[in-house]
Amino acid sequence: MSVFDPYAYLDAAAAALELPIPAKYRDSVAENLLRLHAMAREVIDFPLPADCRPGGRATARSDSNYDSRGGRDPASSDPAAHDTLP
């Protein structure tokens, strides 16, 4: 396994995204990348049983009383829909 270099990742990601990172923020961004890398390692290294299956697929809410952002639809014709959350 190779050693994670946050500065190399920072430079590559910034170049790919065409996102300039000011020099005064490079060290802070690199520190956060190291933290993220450590958290990702915890997830990746978590042992799973051989018969482990993937979880279900998430789908969008189809309730007509909700808008596409998940909030209540103010145009809903059902006033009771605005009284309580589901």
| pLDDT at residue 46, rounded to an integer | 92
Which segments of the chain does DSSP mark as H helices, in order?
Answer: 6-17, 23-44
Residue 71 lies in a domain: no
Q: Is residue 11 part of a domain?
A: yes
Does residue 35 lie within any of the structural domains? yes
Residues whose CB falls within 8 Å of the CB of residue 1, separated by 6 or more in sequence, listed in order: none
Q: Is the pTM of this model over 0.75?
A: no
pLDDT band at 78 (very low <50, low <70, confident <90, very high): low
Report pLDDT digits (tens) over 6-48.
Answer: 999 999 999 999 999 999 999 999 999 999 999 999 999 999 8
Does the residue 51 lie in any domain? no
Question: Tokens for 22?
Answer: 């000011």
End-to-end CA distance of the chain: 47
Range of the domain at 19: 6-44
Pair of tokens at residue 69: 């952002």
Domain count of the chain?
1
Length in residues, the chain? 86
Two structure tokens written together for 50? 């051989």
